[in-house]
Structure 1
Amino acid sequence: MGTTGHSGKEETRWTRAVLGRDGRPLDLLTARFDQHRYAPHTHDEFTIGVSVGGSELIGYRGGHLRTGPGSIVVLAPGEMHTGGPAACDGYAYRALYAEPSLLTEGARGGLPHFREGLLDDPELAAALRAAHTELSVRPDPLEAESRLPWLLAALTRRHSTARPDRDEVPGAARIAEAVRDRLADELQDPPSLACLATDLGLSRYQLLRAFRTTTGIPPYAWLAQHRVNRARRLLESGLRPAEVATLVGFADQAHLTRWFRRVLGVTPAAYRASVLPPPPGARQRATGAQQRSRRATGR
């Protein structure tokens, strides 16, 4: 779900992602401004932004934050702030608005406090920007629930005063196996991570930690690869990509194609054409065409 606004050279896009099929909404803003200045205001959520161009001057906690490409901004709920261009070339950023409870996962001690509103963490900034970009285009619930809480936990653990939970999760391999089995069994309508975590007596962060420690990837990526493997078998049986996409749980053919290329490097249509025998007469027609071409060129 998304809305886009244009005003001269200024552009905004607002998208709502959902954390799991029965989860909470999380809003994402993509913005580029030349002259826009925000009036003093607050948010009920944490505002977490990544600067992607230009420079913004943000009034916050009695001072000013001056952003630059790659910097992370964290504004606490209820804190008054403003924003506007710091230079004549304007500013561009990606922001997400996270309920406070999302930043308490993976940490102890209640609501985290960020002493600094402007953070320098290139690795985390790149990961937040990548997740924001993909989820703004296709806000898949399981992907949102797998990626964003994990990144928000990393933000809290690295830059707030909260004490991190222990990294080790007892029985991680068993937990990962149980999650894989559930996701594979409910391929077309997978359970949310919150639901899985509750069934296993874990927090969502503990479930993500156990799964990533065991498999090296988050649950949504494992599920996508599992779907691709199932799609291969169906394509080999003769079904077309549009039919296969729905059967294995992808939103549409474009969603299938995106993941198929990521995993195998080719499109589903190209894969299908390479593994299916040619239709009757196709080889003879191809041979005849080659012979006619040789006669025409004198070869």
Structure 2
Amino acid sequence: MTPAVHQVHLLRSPMEGVYGVDLYSTRTFGRHWHESFGFGVMEEGGHRSASGRGLVEALAGQVVTSNPGEVHDGTPLGQVPRRWRMVHIEPSAMASLVGQSGQELTRPVLHDPLLYRSIRRLLLRWGAPSDNSDQSLQPLWEESLAQVCGELVQAYGNRPMATAGRRPLDRVRECLLDQMQNPPSLAELAIQNGLSRFQLVRQFSMAYGLPPFAWLQQHRLRKAHRLISGGAPLSEAAFACGFADQSHLNRHFVRCFGFTPGQWKRHCGVPPQ
């Protein structure tokens, strides 16, 4: 049996709303999403994912992508470690680089050798995970980032991001977000919206890709992600986002992002409290 391995390095960016992740792992990730666009290269092994665009497999030498809010998971092919490196870029940063917004990347796995080389060039210019001290490299890095984002949107961003069909459940979504620390029960939500619990779970899953409380858990994690990067102590971030304690936040944070809250805090340059 292949021993379990999980190594992760965060790549700090000189541009707000952008960061990179370098992963070498046998770990299986549960269903989750990111608020950012994601694109990167599969460098070793293979990866299977049930994404918002169907079941896909990515192999070494291919490009992988994800859209903001797209629910996906991930497991290694053959239970052997795979290495992939991803760039995460918030929609506003993507729009500022390519001059347009409201696009969706249409294919989750790309066999595009030219784009693959462009992304690897960007990652090479990024430098070592902990080294962003050479300011002379920033223009080359930003140029590479703009080039890659432009190539992606031009070749694979040819339809607007889907938003239709979600309005009937807006009240459920807003209620969960407004009461993140102590949300209503599933039965209470169902009664408030004139649905059975089964109907609520089914309709919400169809609209948002996850059942209501799994969806809320993702938003709790994203809020914790933002609070920690803003300097909040880990225990305070856990409480503010409705987690029972710091260890509870830690377990779910690693399951979603692949790195711990403490690693994210250090990556963001937040001094220890």
TM-score by length of 2: 0.51
1:97 match:
88
2:146 aligned residue (144, 149, 159): 149
Offset of 1:50 from its aligned partner?
Answer: 0.8
For 1:49 and 1:106, locate their aligned partners in 2 and report how far apart those are by CA, in whole Å.
17
Offset of 1:88 from its aligned partner?
Answer: 3.0
Structure 2's unaligned 5+ residue stretches are: 161-273
| Contact 1:102/1:149 (8 A) holds in 2 | no
Alpha-carbon displacement from aligned partner over 1:24-70 (angstroms, at most 9, x marks no partner): 2421111111x201121111100112100100011101621100112
Alignment of 1:32-47 (within 5 A): 32-33=24-25, 35-47=26-38
Structure 1's unaligned 5+ residue stretches are: 1-6, 164-299
For 1:29 and 1:43, locate their aligned partners in 2 and report how far apart those are by CA, in whole Å.
13
Do the aligned partners of residues 110 and 25 (structure 1) sit closer, same or farther apart at CA in structure 2, a change above 3 Å counting?
Answer: closer
1:53 match:
44
For 1:17 and 1:72, locate their aligned partners in 2 and report how far apart those are by CA, in whole Å.
21
Offset of 1:118 from its aligned partner?
Answer: 1.2
Do the aligned partners of residues 160 and 25 (structure 1) sit closer, same or farther apart at CA in structure 2, a change above 3 Å counting?
Answer: closer
TM-score by length of 1: 0.46
Offset of 1:155 from its aligned partner?
Answer: 1.1
Alpha-carbon displacement from aligned partner over 1:133-183 (angstroms, at most 9, x marks no partner): 3304144433332221221111111111069xxxxxxxxxxxxxxxxxxxx
Task: Report how many aligned residue pairs link the two structures.
Answer: 152
Alpha-carbon displacement from aligned partner over 1:177-234 (angstroms, at most 9, x marks no partner): xxxxxxxxxxxxxxxxxxxxxxxxxxxxxxxxxxxxxxxxxxxxxxxxxxxxxxxxxx
Offset of 1:121 from its aligned partner?
Answer: 0.9
1:242 match:
none
Offset of 1:104 from its aligned partner?
Answer: 3.0
1:29 aligned residue (16, 21, 25): 21
Tell me if 1:66 matches 2:62: no
Q: Give the partner amino acid of 1:40.
A: R
Offset of 1:130 from its aligned partner?
Answer: 2.4
| Contact 1:104/1:153 (8 A) holds in 2 | no
Q: Quick one: higher RCO (CA 8 Å, sep 6+), 1 or 2?
A: 2
C-alpha RMSD of matched pairs (Å): 2.4
1:78 aligned residue (58, 63, 69): 69
Do the aligned partners of residues 155 and 43 (structure 1) sit closer, same or farther apart at CA in structure 2, a change above 3 Å counting?
Answer: same
For 2:17 and 2:127, locate their aligned partners in 1 and report how far apart those are by CA, in whole Å.
13
For 1:18 and 1:107, locate their aligned partners in 2 and report how far apart those are by CA, in whole Å.
18
